[in-house]
């Protein structure tokens, strides 16, 4: 069982795409174990994107993710990391396959709508950065689980 942090970024919230994006993950079979609307602080943004600190686009990335509210979700499932990332599509939306979130709704890397963790280790770390234990319901029983995994 893996865990991934999904962020429905400011552009997606502003464009009214929250529902359609959640639907993609939900119909894939990933289980929501935490979800909330927050305004990311600069401190949290810098922690979340710390691996990109030296990249030229770091400041822009922090400005973008803190510019407006986001939805953060913790999802759980077998192979949740790869499943979520294939549903999201390539980092550069103009290269993303049709049928992915970025391939269907986005054009440029500056406004690519969604974040998904890139490894099982980072999934655990990132979920813990955004959620307290009390905000998570890991492993709750879903009546459809036996038909999904």
123 contacts 64 by C-beta, under 8 angstroms? no
Interface region with Mg ion, contact rule CB under 5 A, candidates 34-42, 117-125, 126-134, 137-145:
117-125
- CB-based contacts of 110, cutoff 8 Å, min separation 6: 60, 64
Q: Binds 23, which of Mg ion, ligand DAT, none (CB < 5 to 8 A, cut-off by type)?
A: none
Q: Does 58 bind Mg ion (CB under 5 A)?
A: no
- The C-alpha atoms of residue 5 and residue 129 are separated, in whole angstroms, by 9
Is 115 marked active-site?
yes
HSE-CB at 106 with a 13 A cutoff on CA atoms is 28
Residue 110 or 145 having the CB closest to ligand DAT: 110
Q: Does 129 bind Mg ion (CB under 5 A)?
A: no
Q: Binds 57, which of ligand DAT, Mg ion, none (CB < 5 to 8 A, cut-off by type)?
A: ligand DAT
């Amino acid at each position: 069982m893996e865990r991934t942090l999904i962020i429905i970024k400011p552009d997606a919230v502003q464009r009214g795409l929250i529902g359609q994006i959640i639907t993609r993950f939900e119909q894939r079979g990933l289980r929501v174990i935490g979800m909330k609307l927050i305004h990311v602080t600069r401190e949290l943004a810098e922690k979340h994107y710390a691996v990109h600190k030296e990249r030229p686009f770091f400041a822009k990335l922090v400005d973008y993710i803190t510019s407006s509210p986001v939805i953060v979700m913790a999802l759980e499932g077998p192979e949740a990391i790869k499943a979520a990332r294939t549903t999201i599509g390539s980092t550069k939306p103009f290269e993303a396959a049709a049928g992915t979130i970025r391939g269907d709704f986005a054009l440029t890397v500056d406004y690519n709508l969604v974040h998904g963790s890139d490894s099982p280790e980072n999934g655990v770390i990132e979920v813990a950065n955004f959620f307290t234990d009390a905000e998570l319901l890991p492993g709750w029983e879903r009546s459809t689980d036996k038909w999904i995994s």
